[in-house]
């Protein structure tokens, strides 16, 4: 068995488990980029998503100007291809973290790349909340935050989990793209040490590990969505 593995995956074995080019390093870099960009991008996405819902013409605090500004910001960032965004905000990235390359530097474009997608997903999820429940909460004098957290989030939590799962899966793909241009992670492993060196086995294993991450996120997300679905 070990002989077959060594013969079939020679480059995978050569990369090793630890070190700068090791598999564990690539895995932890991917997890690092996914977690922190999901955290920062998720916060931005929630803020913009909530703003789009509550300031819309049918929202609880209609504001045409604020809605227009928020909508245009989300639309512009969402329209920019991620690979172009990486290059376009490179000076801003260097200003924030002191460098344009590396795993930490990738957090800036990743967060800005994922937040507009998540904002739209949150907008859709919250818009689907029964308007009658929102109106009932307003009728009894519920405050703005009571409606946001007690109505929108509570009634839409299952759908929020679903769209968060979709966003997280999309983000894993973005980390692979960022890794392909030097940010590290499994994307960097697949391209720099696999494709560019004609090491097909390295590319296959890196791709397989990305798919494992996606599968784990999908299974956990589906379970949580079903678990918190009160309908």
First to last CA, the chain: 51
pLDDT interval class at 181 (50, 70, 90):
low
Burial 157-175 (b: 16+ CB within 10 A, else e): bbbbbbbbbbbbbbbbebb
Q: Tell me the average pLDDT across 78-105.
A: 83
Q: Which residues contact 72 (CB under 8 A, 6 or more apart)?
A: none
Whole-number Å distance between alpha carbons of 96 and 230: 42
Domain 20-227 sits in CATH 3.30.413.10: no
pTM for the complete prediction?
A: 0.88
pLDDT digits (tens, 9 = 90+) for 188-230: 888 877 777 777 888 898 889 999 999 999 999 999 988 877 6
Q: Tell me the average pLDDT across 51-70.
A: 90
Query: Tell me, what's the pLDDT at 114?
Result: 92
CB 176 within 8 Å of CB 185: yes
Q: Tell me the average pLDDT across 70-83.
A: 90
Residue extents of the structural domains in the chain: 20-227
CB 155 within 8 Å of CB 133: yes
In this structure, the dihedral spanned by the alpha carbons of residues 145, 124, 89 and 70, taken in order and rounded to 10 degrees, is -60
């Amino acid at each position: 068995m070990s002989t077959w593995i060594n013969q079939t995956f020679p480059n995978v074995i050569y990369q090793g488990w630890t070190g700068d080019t090791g598999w564990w390093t690539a895995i932890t870099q991917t997890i690092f980029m996914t977690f922190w960009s999901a955290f920062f991008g998720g916060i931005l996405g929630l803020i913009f998503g909530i703003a789009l819902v509550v300031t819309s013409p049918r929202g609880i605090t209609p504001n045409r100007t604020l809605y227009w500004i928020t909508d245009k910001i989300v639309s512009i960032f969402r329209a920019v291809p991620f690979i172009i965004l990486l290059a376009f905000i490179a000076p801003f990235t260097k200003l924030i973290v002191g460098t344009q390359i590396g795993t930490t530097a990738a957090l800036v474009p990743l967060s800005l790349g994922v937040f507009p997608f998540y904002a739209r997903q949150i907008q859709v999820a919250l818009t689907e909340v029964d308007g009658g429940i929102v109106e009932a909460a307003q009728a009894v004098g519920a405050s703005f935050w009571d409606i946001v957290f007690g109505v929108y989030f509570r009634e839409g939590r299952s759908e929020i989990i679903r769209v968060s799962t979709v966003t997280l899966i999309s983000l894993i793909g973005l980390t692979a793209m960022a890794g392909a241009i030097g940010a590290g992670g499994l994307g960097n492993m697949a391209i720099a040490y696999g494709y560019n060196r004609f090491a097909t086995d390295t590319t296959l294993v890196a791709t397989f590990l990305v798919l494992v991450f996606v599968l784990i996120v999908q299974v956990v997300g589906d379970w949580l969505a079903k678990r918190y679905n009160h309908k």
